[in-house]
Amino acid sequence: MTVEEFCAAYPRLYHMAEASMWPSIQRHGLLSTSALLDLYGVAGTERRQIEHTRRAEFIAVRHPELGEVLIRDQKPMTDATLAPVLDDGLSPADWYALLNARVFFWVNEERLAGLLGAYRHRDNLVLTLDTATVMSKHAARTTLSAINSGFSRRWAVRRGRDTFRSIADYQLVQRVDGKAVRRPVAECAVLGGVDNVLEALVGTRDVPKAEGGRRKAEG
């Protein structure tokens, strides 16, 4: 797949963030967990705990000048359900580290709706970005996946290092157990993060907790 083909097939990228993170996103861009830890100077045992173990709850990270940021939990995964489906000799700790190195986007609103439903007890903010604008700067650090890489509970599928493929290496028709299977893109991820968020921003949408409706916000 070429970058142009990806942008044409998936013209919008959707990212769900904790609503309170919007000021930080405007200031620093969308940063991966690892990039946030770099920015906030988190190191040693605390950093390893955040990057290499499952987060059962949101984690607050604080800095005297930068303030507080929240790092999302990883409840849709467990070590017990991850370990049997990992290839390439990866451990659950390795998988968490691979995820924490990336910022993730959905490429359609159907999958976004599922994530919003799972976090309906939180105040969320949905960012809609123009894919072509994001790719104009970050295509070389972008990977595509045919699965929800952050989910490993019921019906978990196998995964490994080649789950995250560059745009050029991604094939909509892939060989699975010797058969040709169409595998549309499920998620898009950018290593490190996206710093041209405001330039690429199409709009924002507040999704308050415990409310079925959604209210528009200016983008």
CB 70 within 8 A of CB 59: yes
Which pLDDT score, from 0 to 100, does residue 155 have? 80
Residue 63 counted as domain residue: yes
Which pLDDT score, from 0 to 100, does residue 82 have? 96
Confidence of residue 219 (pLDDT cuts 50, 70, 90): very low
Q: In the chain, how many domains are there?
A: 1
Whether pLDDT at 218 is above 70: no
Residue-wise pLDDT tens digits, 161-214: 999 999 999 988 877 788 888 889 999 999 999 999 999 999 999 999 865 444
The Cβ-side half-sphere exposure at 67, using a 13 Å CA radius, reads 10
Residue 214 counted as domain residue: no
Average confidence (pLDDT) over 51-77:
95
**Cβ neighbour number for residue 203 with a 10 Å cutoff:** 13
Whether pLDDT at 146 is above 60: yes
Residue 102 counted as domain residue: yes
CA distance to 120, 148, 183, per residue, from 157 (Å): 25, 9, 13
Q: In terms of Cα–Cα distance, which of 99, 21, 94 is closest to 59?
A: 21
Residue 216 counted as domain residue: no
Given the structure tokens 């950018």, which residue do they identify? Answer: 190
Phi, psi (deg, nearest 5) at residue 7: -65, -35
Average confidence (pLDDT) over 150-166:
91
Average confidence (pLDDT) over 25-32:
96
CB 101 within 8 A of CB 147: no
Residue 218 counted as domain residue: no
The three-class DSSP label of residue 95 is helix
Residue 215 counted as domain residue: no
Provide the domain limits for residue 62: 3-209
CB 152 within 8 A of CB 74: no
Query: Percent of the chain at pLDDT above 90?
Result: 84
Residue 105 counted as domain residue: yes
Q: Give the DSSP H/E element, type plus range, for residue 165.
A: strand 165-166
Residue 217 counted as domain residue: no
Helices (H), 75-154: 79-82, 92-100, 109-118, 131-138
Say if pTM beats, i.e. exceeds, 0.75.
yes
Those residues whose C-beta lies under 8 Å from the C-beta of residue 215, and which sit 6 or more positions away, are 205, 206, 208
Which pLDDT score, from 0 to 100, does residue 212 have? 43
